[in-house]
Structure 1
Amino acid sequence: MTKELRDLLAKLNAKKEEGRTLLAEDKLDEAKAITNEVKDIQAKIEILQEFQFENAIPLDDPLNPDPVDDKKAYGNVFFKALKSKRLDESEANLLEEHKALSSTTGEDGGYTVPEDIQTAINEYKRDDTDLSQFVTIEPVSTLKGSRVLEKEADTTSFVEFAEGAAVPDSDAPKFETINFTIKDLGGFLPIPNNLLNDSDAKLKNFLTNWLKKKNKATKNKLILDILATFVKKDIKTVAEIKTVINVDLDPAIKAGASILTNQDGYNYLDSLEDSNGKSLLQPDPKLPGATLFRGIRVHTASNKILKTVITDPGGAAETIKAPIIIGDLKEAVVLFDREKISIAATSVGGDAFKYNRTDMRAIVRMDAGKFDSKAAVYAELVIKEPA
């Protein structure tokens, strides 16, 4: 939307408000005059739309234009700016408006990616190697904040007292605070200028795929850093796995629990059999392709993401431990996400000019924290140990 059209829409709204005020004061002649001005402004808007948009903005709601047109216009300007092309005044204004929306506090440092790219990136959460699908994701709009939780403690019963006597004191709930500080996490992507000269569609696919991978890797690292703070527990037998599920987890947590392991851990579980030679991993009748261990869903992550620990590889003291996280990770870990990715690009700074390329910088903002340390048990399957 151009500045000229935006100004007309604002003027139209002001005139309508003025007309309503005059009508409320029974100033009919003056209200009629305002009505004629409103009609003239609406006519100008309609003509201007014919020149600027393929689909006209509905005049019955002039201050809420068709979002598809606005998103499409921003997308076009975004790629034009990414290619370091000169922007006219209306395009620069549109870029600045979206930039202002990207952050309520602090410096943005770029321009936000179009919504269709943002959506495509978020859809990647369905990939099994994206750990963020297993934890709680909480969108936030501030750089710092906190969440207050009731501290776990044994709940005591009420105390009996005689009629007419004072009600005895009772233990009060205790609370703890979980703080978060949004981090700026980013990196550079050198783009060959011949790619920038290609179609926006190809550039969009290239950019989206890169952001998907980097965004996923960033979330995974934050989550893994939190999981690394959990106390590790070695598991060597099926009975010990059952103990974790039945004893270590609270019954309320067990109801929503799952098992997260890597390829090595899944292969180990898949080799386990009962006394009748029947595999302990069973197919989930409700979800084709999924597996269950004693009724609990098993998720598998790549060995590259959730790593197996090998000590003294190939030596006499070689030990192999595969991670197996049992519990409800949505209760254990929370990812605070500002849900904004900002982009900036240059074709003259750094080494960009020297190598005839455009260097793009991408920044995401998020943080992660431990929500309930007793909601999950970080166990390690001892696949191999010294004889």
Structure 2
Amino acid sequence: MKKSDELRQIVAKLRKEVMDLQGQEEMDKAAAKAVELNNAIRDLKTQEAVEAADLTKAMQHPSAPEGAPIKSENMARLRNRVFNKMVFGRALDAQEREFADAAGTPGLVETTPGKGGYIVPEEQISILREYRRANLALRSFCGYQTVTSDTGKRPTLSSEKDKLVAFDELNEINQDDLDFGQITYKISSYGDIIPVSNELAADNNINLMEVIGRRFATKSINTENDKILAKLPTKGSAITDYKGILNALNTKIDPMQAIAAIILTNQSGFDYLDELTDTQGRPLLTPSLADPSMMTLRGKIIVPVSDSILATPTAGIPFYVGAMAEAVAFFDRQQVAIEASSDAGFTKNATYIRAIERFDVEADDAGAMVLLNYKVGA
């Protein structure tokens, strides 16, 4: 495992600890842990820069003397050229083939385009991740799992309320009748067609992922969010003010799940919460120590999505309250495939690029999240 991967795990662990402490309203401990989180993020960024520099140095130019690295600007052009040629089905020259087959070049080792297109290599996927970070992806709040097959099953447990059984050393431990539940997943493909002018497509050195990345990343997140929202509860309870949300956290969600609970709503719901003040006129919402760009209510993260994606029904503004990571499972095949065709765009002198990602979303613990509806003026 790379050092950066270890640091990412540390960052994720610290971020969760900060959110948990906020949820328990232990703000002093949360603030102290947030300092550790910021230091870990700094170390991660430093390590990523070091590894990027090492990768550049490791790649040797075929015609250069042994030990002479390719300049970083030439490396980027070579990487783009190899990727673009593979997407468009063009032949690689000797230098490009050596780069494509080189050890340490993730995703480029002896890859032949086949059914479904050319699988985007890890280095190109990072561009899509950057574009995704600019949007709110609900899958980060789900029970996220990576899978390597198109279909399968995963064990799952609902909220456990049983206790351990006392025994002495002469007796056997009583066997529980616990049955594991199972979630069956089936990966589906979701794609977009992006037209690219033939003049642009003819340039082998362009960064193709930047050309298609922003549009694909935005549509990708919109699709994922829509599928995730469809797995949330559909029957809601009416509330008359924000205290109904607090009551649900205290009484309708298992206390262990409430620790990691979030409040998911739309823009209208966030606007309502954002205008709330206490008796001294101070806002009830406070920035999260783990992520200052997010707001919290009593330590619970507020996750707002667009009104166009989560509309307000006649029952009132929707508030989904609970542990979304327990309520929804997101299965990620971790593949983006790209295939190009100039046939359909012949009359427009364009090449159509089809980008496809693969995932599945399934409902998990039905009791981990509840729906509340607040009707303005009710």
Both proteins in one fold, TM over 0.5: yes
Classify the secondary structure of the residue corresponding to 1:226: coil
Q: Please state if 1:216 is matched with 2:229.
A: no
Q: Structure 2 matches for 1:150-165, cutoff 5 A?
A: 150-152=157-159, 154-155=161-162, 158=165
Aligned match of 2:265:
261
| Equivalent-residue separation in structure 2 for 1:384 and 1:89 (angstroms) | 72
Confirm or deny: 8 A CA contact 1:259 1:296 kept in the other structure: yes
Deviations 1:114-137 (CA, angstroms, capped at 9, x unpaired): 322201222344335221222232
Bigger drift between 352-361 and 195-204 goes to: 195-204
- State the Cα distance separating 1:92 from its structure 2 match: 7.6
Q: Structure 2 matches for 1:151-190, cutoff 5 A?
A: 151-152=158-159, 154-155=161-162, 158=165, 171-190=176-195
Gaps of 5+ in 1: 1-48, 59-68, 310-318
| Equivalent-residue separation in structure 1 for 2:167 and 2:208 (angstroms) | 73
Confirm or deny: 8 A CA contact 2:319 2:372 kept in the other structure: yes
| Equivalent-residue separation in structure 1 for 2:188 and 2:274 (angstroms) | 39
| Equivalent-residue separation in structure 2 for 1:285 and 1:167 (angstroms) | 48
Aligned match of 1:346:
341
| Equivalent-residue separation in structure 2 for 1:79 and 1:158 (angstroms) | 62
In angstroms, what is the RMSD of aligned CA positions? 3.7
Q: Structure 2 matches for 1:366-381, cutoff 5 A?
A: 366-381=359-374
Q: Please state if 1:205 is matched with 2:210.
A: yes
Q: Structure 2 matches for 1:328-347, cutoff 5 A?
A: 328-347=323-342
Q: Please state if 1:115 is matched with 2:122.
A: yes
- State the Cα distance separating 1:357 from its structure 2 match: 0.9
Gaps of 5+ in 2: 1-58, 69-73, 102-106
Confirm or deny: 8 A CA contact 1:134 1:330 kept in the other structure: yes
CA separation of 1:198/1:182 partners in 2, compared to 1, >3 Å: closer, same or farther? same
Aligned match of 1:130:
137
CA separation of 1:156/1:269 partners in 2, compared to 1, >3 Å: closer, same or farther? same
Confirm or deny: 8 A CA contact 2:137 2:221 kept in the other structure: yes
**What is the TM-score of this pair, normalised by structure 1?**
0.67
Confirm or deny: 8 A CA contact 1:144 1:181 kept in the other structure: yes
Aligned match of 2:9:
none
| Equivalent-residue separation in structure 2 for 1:285 and 1:152 (angstroms) | 28
**What is the TM-score of this pair, normalised by structure 2?**
0.69
- State the Cα distance separating 1:145 from its structure 2 match: 1.1
| Equivalent-residue separation in structure 1 for 2:326 and 2:201 (angstroms) | 44
- State the Cα distance separating 1:378 from its structure 2 match: 2.6
CA separation of 1:133/1:239 partners in 2, compared to 1, >3 Å: closer, same or farther? same
| Equivalent-residue separation in structure 2 for 1:320 and 1:152 (angstroms) | 29
Deviations 1:54-104 (CA, angstroms, capped at 9, x unpaired): 58579xxxxxxxxxx999755422212445545458868959x8487699x
Q: Please state if 1:300 is matched with 2:317.
A: no
Aligned match of 2:256:
252
- State the Cα distance separating 1:321 from its structure 2 match: 2.3
Deviations 1:7-42 (CA, angstroms, capped at 9, x unpaired): xxxxxxxxxxxxxxxxxxxxxxxxxxxxxxxxxxxx
- State the Cα distance separating 1:156 from its structure 2 match: 5.8
Q: Structure 2 matches for 1:1-387, cutoff 5 A?
A: 52=62, 56=66, 75-83=80-88, 85-87=90-92, 94=100, 98=108, 108-152=115-159, 154-155=161-162, 158=165, 171-198=176-203, 200-201=205-206, 203-227=208-232, 229-284=233-288, 287-309=291-313, 319=314, 321-347=316-342, 349=343, 351-383=344-376
- State the Cα distance separating 1:273 from its structure 2 match: 3.3
| Equivalent-residue separation in structure 1 for 2:146 and 2:112 (angstroms) | 13
Letter in 2 for 1:254: A
Q: Which has the larger radius of gyration?
A: 1
CA separation of 1:168/1:182 partners in 2, compared to 1, >3 Å: closer, same or farther? closer
| Equivalent-residue separation in structure 1 for 2:300 and 2:63 (angstroms) | 54
CA separation of 1:216/1:238 partners in 2, compared to 1, >3 Å: closer, same or farther? closer
